[in-house]
Amino acid sequence: MINLPIWMIICLICTILIEIVIAYILRVKDKKDFVNIILANCITNPLLVAISTYINVYYGLFARRISMIILEILAIIIEGYIYKKNLNFKKIKPYILSFILNFSSYFLGILINHIIY
């Protein structure tokens, strides 16, 4: 548990990297858009990890799983809103873009977890 802050940093970095790569593949080109994506993840990701860990410790794994779904949905909505207001990239609708990026980082995270553990 002492490693939680380090773990949060690792999660944030991995999420940002995955989302940047996916965004690049989706033809996001503007540097400002990448910065917005990074900052949007800085808003949602650390809170998501910290809150889900808190729920896991005090309410168990099942509660954590439920909360993850809710928190991910909230993250998609928040990031979608940020993209809508600030992104120059218009090829994909902002909420759909947010959904794709979050979904891919979530599932790739599971995959990486499986591989490592």
Partner 1 sequence: MKKTKLLLLFFLLFLFIIPIYVNADMGAPEISTYTARVINKNGAESVLDLYEPKDSILIPYDTLVEITFEENEYGMTNYNGKSYYTKLSDLRAVSEETEPVGEGVESKNYYAWEEGAYLYKGPSKAYDKVDGNIQIKPGTTVNVRNYIKNAWGYVEYNGVKGWVYIYQCYKNAPYKEVSHLVDISEGNTKIYTLKDITLENSPTKQEKTNIVVPAFTEVQYKYEYMYNPHKKYICIEYEGKEGWHEIEDVDNLSIAYNCKNENISLIAVKDVTIYEKFNEENNNVIGTIPAKEECDVLYASIYYYGDESWCYVHYNDISGWVNTKGEDYLISERYNYGLISDKYSEYTTDSDTIIYDNVNGIETNVVISKDTVLSEKYTYTDSDNLSSWHYVFNDKYSGWIKNDFYKASSENTSNENTLIENTNEIIDDNLVEEKENNMQKLFSIQNILIICILVALIIAIISIFLIKKINSKENK
Q: Which residues bind partner 1 (CB under 8 A)?
A: 1-2, 4-5, 8, 22, 25-27, 32, 35-36, 39-40, 42-44, 46-47, 49-51, 53-54, 57, 82, 85-86, 91-92, 100, 103-104, 107-108, 110-111, 114
Q: Is 113 exposed, middle or buried (0-12, 13-18, 19+ CB in 10 A)?
A: exposed
State in angstroms the smallest separation of the CB of 46 from partner 1. Answer: 4
| Cα 116 from Cα 37, distance rounded (Å) | 27
Instruction: For the CB of residue 65, give the shortest distance to partner 1 in the complex, in Å.
Output: 14
> Which is it for the CA torsion 24, 17, 66, 47, positive or negative?
negative
Quote the tokens at residue 113. Answer: 């977890």
Least CB distance to partner 1 at residue 15 (A): 13
